[in-house]
């Protein structure tokens, strides 16, 4: 039986960091306007023939994305640049993370890394990978050697 791990929340370290950031943000609203490591949200789907990964990549240039696929894992990395709309503006609220990001996600089935294809539109990255054939057993007949 195969189990699928679904994580609708985040881990303790992420929650703690978020709480600390919120405290400092209350004291000085521009505090969150710094380059940080962020983690884009990722969905992983599995069909009979392929594994599909969707990643929320709003505001990125497709040329700044770096994708690596191995048999059991996908790594998506890149840089989202800060958006400067006004010179000398005072931020009242700044929540959009920017800077370097990297996500490594385990895949639910072994895939053919060479078959991977990626498309990026409307802020969503879609990576499709063909599954490798299921390991089939081969029955061996025993013959007599008389």
Tens-digit pLDDT profile for residues 20-77: 766 665 655 555 444 456 789 999 999 999 999 999 998 888 888 999 999 999 999 9
Residue 132 neighbours by CB under 8 Å, 6+ apart: 71, 109, 110, 111, 112
Question: How far is it, in rounded angstroms, from Cα 48 to Cα 27?
Answer: 52
Q: Determine if the pTM surpasses 0.75.
A: no
Alpha-carbon gap, residue 67 to 120, rounded angstroms: 12
Q: What is the pLDDT of residues 124-140, one digit of tens each?
A: 999 999 999 877 666 77
Count of other CB atoms within 10 angstroms of residue 36: 13
Show the tokens assigned to 25: 């943000």
Q: Evaluate whether residue 4 is within a structural domain.
A: no
What CATH number has the domain bearing residue 111?
2.60.40.790
Number of domains in the chain: 1
d(CA 64, CA 144): 64
Q: Which domain holds residue 58?
A: 12-130
């Amino acid at each position: 039986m195969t189990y699928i791990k679904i994580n609708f929340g985040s881990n303790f370290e992420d929650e703690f960091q978020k709480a600390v950031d919120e405290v400092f943000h209350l004291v000085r609203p521009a505090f969150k306007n710094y380059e940080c490591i962020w983690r884009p949200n990722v969905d992983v789907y599995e069909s009979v023939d392929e594994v599909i990964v969707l990643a929320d990549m709003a505001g990125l240039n497709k040329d700044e994305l770096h994708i690596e696929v191995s048999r059991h894992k996908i790594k998506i990395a890149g840089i989202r640049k800060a958006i400067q709309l006004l010179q000398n503006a005072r931020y009242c609220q700044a929540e959009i993370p920017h800077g370097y990001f990297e996500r490594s996600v385990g895949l639910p089935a072994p895939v053919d890394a060479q078959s991977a294809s990626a498309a990026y539109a409307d802020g969503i990255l879609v990576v499709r990978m063909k599954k490798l054939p299921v390991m089939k057993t081969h029955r061996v007949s025993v013959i007599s050697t008389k």
